Structure 1
């Protein structure tokens, strides 16, 4: 599992470690890791041309010491200083001692900096560290724009300058990196969009930090998901494996019911009960489904419900399902129809699965606000509804009402942005709920599998939601190894 910690926690851990090390040792560790990553990206260090964009903080010092190491290996290294009077003096002396050159980064020397960037094979972004706020200042933004127009590869030190480390927001101009070399632990911005898009590939360098307390974010990996997935035992039958109920679809949207059932059938539960007006469409596609038209309360025993995909304005069905004393997943139309006080008052777990537009409607803000501050939005929704919230998007976030680390999933692909894909995810999540997983685990594992299935289904070409459902078994087998 990958974890990300807040700026405050990282700084406390750095202070604790520096108190036990010789002066400057921690920066040298970071610089060594940074230099190694740059060398690997360049492939041939001798004769290459590097530009260091150096701010006034420790990130600038890291860049300078790394530049000195590369200069000693034969690279031509130029440091562009954005705050010459506040540049890390030890790093600057090391670079000059290794044969590196220095130019100011202000408007008075724009020609020299522009020429160096134009000729560079690699640019190292050491402008702003994890404490930066509000986007780049004008001089730094001008340099970042020049870098964006150049042919150089870009390596960010710890995180791209201009992004908000704790939230993943991008509130102004920022550097776009091909590679980010981060130290000690991931920072939230490296895992959450929109900032994640600026980071490129991310390499974590171990510098010996001891990180006490709780992480801000957790990102599941194959082994984590494999440990969660339900496996039938020798004495299992379809009821012991769990039964999931699907209350979805309408005369206008029968396909939503079919797709939700398709996801549920592949999620590990032993049986799927369908309730709603799309029974004929469901049974024609999936004859193993237990279909009922008597309403959720009379459909038979289930261990979890999924309600909402394609139900239109059927508020009565949504309310009836929310009244059940089992875990409930609410999606699509159900999010619009669910009464907040009813959701907050439920004794059993509730999972809500909005996309950015639905989340914006629930919060009373614009879609752009949700997309720009996804971490804040998912936490606020979980708190307001006392529910586990899965916020869909390029990076899927899962937050619990009680707080704790937010789960982040990035296995998806833009090809998943297709009609009905969310219905498949709802059924898959509900099936995992019925098999006994907690709300957080079910949502996180389902998002992970769904993302992988999307990749397998698309394989570089458009794919429909039914293709995603059909690829879930392949994703499951991959995760199980």
Structure 2
């Protein structure tokens, strides 16, 4: 999936119109798809569509026009439709035709608008689309705040009040259960925190030609991951498949080493995984992961820092690894050493070989080491912005862990993955992710690809564990255990699709 800037999408629409495409044709196709989804949503969540009450919040833009035209089709299915006009103008053909079809047109300034919201089974957000900037204000903000919390909201194109190209939120905004978008997703639908206001995502093909311009954000799907995953050749042996060295864990945090090793070994991406750590932790690692090889030896990549806690021998091992020029996945206790070395210009490994895996708090600390005072809350409200600063200054790939994981390349490539259930917010989950990423780097993947693929597999494995637990809580160990079957399913589905197409 590729998300394009709002300007590129608007340019594609303008180009289609210049070629003789009719605006009402594009609107009708978009509205037809939207109406189908809205009626289907009513059936799923209310048991039926007929006789239900839908309130449209309608602005002056294209998404307001889409909402009005979809409302006409809903009226034909026996659904009560109110259109609350939030701007001084609206798509006039849609207004007049909806009124002729029995829909009610309501001014936003009236008490009737609030009454309609209180009676609604479903609210449709068509207030502002790709031209929206900043939070909602005035009466529109009052109406959005008055939507009953139990009433689902479907946003047209994107949730109003969310910045289209950055996903940032700067005031009152719509929080949707579902967003229906057209032509191409806007970046805010893939980037936090805006994507968390969008709910589920549905894409409607309105017949617009492919949007030109470089995508702002990308997200991998099953086929992309299958194409990148390192499948061993029939003649391969364990050394050819790559060797990962892991410096992780401490006497205080032995579990971090175990989980990082499990993530690496269960992924099967590398042929051998070596462990370097305190003697007592090594014993625990070998007990939990008998496939681990203890001690220093030849490796093709390093995983550094998960659970490391001021151990002199491990600090020396981390320093040696960072000076080696080999690919490094850098987590937790190794971040400071890596950041300081790269700030000082000591960059033994090039940009494609360094993957930093901080959560928001750790990214704030990295920025502090770089001379910028930033709070964790600032990172959570602008993860793409701060991730790009760090990636550019350190000439490295930065994976910002969170409900939606952001992966930022040093040249500005932005990726996001969001396969995981909320239950993945649990101790040790990041260690498993780091293990998967390190193993992928040992197999030969560059940092950006390894970060994206690892985030996908990690999230999908968490969802598999969640389902296996009857949709209940999960642990990091269960996520690691679900990794092999998750990879097998992705690869198997890709092989099936290839055989069918052949």
TM-score (normalised: structure 2): 0.89
Q: Which residue of structure 2 aligns with residue 98 of structure 1?
A: 101
Residue 377 of structure 1 pairs with residue 376 of structure 2: no
In structure 2, runs of 5+ residues without a counterpart are: 369-373, 493-502
Q: Which residue of structure 2 aligns with residue 439 of structure 1?
A: 447
**CA drift at 1:45:** 4.3
Q: Which residue of structure 2 aligns with residue 477 of structure 1?
A: 488
Provide the aligned length of Structure 1 versus Structure 2.
Answer: 468
Residues 91-135 of structure 1: per-residue CA shift (max 9 Å, x gap) = 2122222222211102xx1x2112212222222111111121211
**CA drift at 1:29:** 2.1
**CA drift at 1:63:** 1.3
Residue 423 of structure 1 pairs with residue 423 of structure 2: no
Residues 179-221 of structure 1: per-residue CA shift (max 9 Å, x gap) = 2110111111112222222212211011223211221111111
Q: Which residue of structure 1 aligns with residue 298 of structure 2?
A: 301
> Is the 1:263–1:428 contact (alpha carbons within 8 Å) kept by the matching residues of 2?
yes
In the TM superposition, structure 1's runs of 4+ consecutive aligned residues that sit over 6 Å from their partners are none
Q: Which residue of structure 1 aligns with residue 360 of structure 2?
A: 356
> Is the 1:340–1:385 contact (alpha carbons within 8 Å) kept by the matching residues of 2?
no
**CA drift at 1:23:** 4.1
> Is the 1:72–1:99 contact (alpha carbons within 8 Å) kept by the matching residues of 2?
no
Residues 286-320 of structure 1: per-residue CA shift (max 9 Å, x gap) = 2332211xxxxxx2211100111122124433222
**CA drift at 1:72:** 3.4
Output aligned runs, 1:10-25, within 5 Å. 10-20=9-19, 21-25=21-25
Give the counterpart of 2:90 among 87, 90, 97. Answer: 87
Residue 397 of structure 1 pairs with residue 406 of structure 2: yes
Output aligned runs, 1:192-271, within 5 Å. 192-209=191-208, 210-267=210-267, 268-271=269-272
Secondary structure of 2:484's partner?
helix
> Is the 1:18–1:26 contact (alpha carbons within 8 Å) kept by the matching residues of 2?
no
> In 1, Cα distance between the equivalents of 2:305 and 2:443?
20
Secondary structure of 2:72's partner?
helix
> In 1, Cα distance between the equivalents of 2:387 and 2:266?
27
> Is the 1:322–1:342 contact (alpha carbons within 8 Å) kept by the matching residues of 2?
no
**CA drift at 1:450:** 1.0
Secondary structure of 1:170's partner?
coil
> In 1, Cα distance between the equivalents of 2:76 and 2:283?
74
Q: Which residue of structure 2 aligns with residue 122 of structure 1?
A: 122
Q: Which residue of structure 2 aligns with residue 176 of structure 1?
A: 175
Residue 275 of structure 1 pairs with residue 276 of structure 2: yes
Q: Which residue of structure 2 aligns with residue 289 of structure 1?
A: 292
> In 2, Cα distance between the equivalents of 1:346 and 1:206?
47
> In 1, Cα distance between the equivalents of 2:23 and 2:285?
68
> In 2, Cα distance between the equivalents of 1:411 and 1:81?
36
Q: Which residue of structure 2 aligns with residue 463 of structure 1?
A: 474
> In 2, Cα distance between the equivalents of 1:80 and 1:90?
15
> In 1, Cα distance between the equivalents of 2:432 and 2:145?
41
> In 2, Cα distance between the equivalents of 1:463 and 1:156?
31
Q: Which residue of structure 2 aligns with residue 54 of structure 1?
A: 58
> In 1, Cα distance between the equivalents of 2:147 and 2:92?
25
> In 1, Cα distance between the equivalents of 2:94 and 2:60?
11
> In 2, Cα distance between the equivalents of 1:442 and 1:233?
20
Secondary structure of 2:302's partner?
strand
Residue 71 of structure 1 pairs with residue 75 of structure 2: yes
Q: Which residue of structure 1 aligns with residue 497 of structure 2?
A: none
Secondary structure of 1:266's partner?
helix
Q: Which residue of structure 2 aligns with residue 3 of structure 1?
A: 2
**CA drift at 1:33:** 1.7
Q: Which residue of structure 2 aligns with residue 454 of structure 1?
A: 462
Q: Which residue of structure 1 aligns with residue 137 of structure 2?
A: 137
Instruction: Pick which of 34-43 and 165-174 moved more.
Output: 34-43
In structure 1, runs of 5+ residues without a counterpart are: 293-298
Residues 63-105 of structure 1: per-residue CA shift (max 9 Å, x gap) = 112212222333322111112x322222212222222221110
The alignment's C-alpha RMSD in Å is: 1.8
> In 2, Cα distance between the equivalents of 1:159 and 1:441?
28
> In 1, Cα distance between the equivalents of 2:78 and 2:256?
61
> Is the 1:54–1:126 contact (alpha carbons within 8 Å) kept by the matching residues of 2?
yes
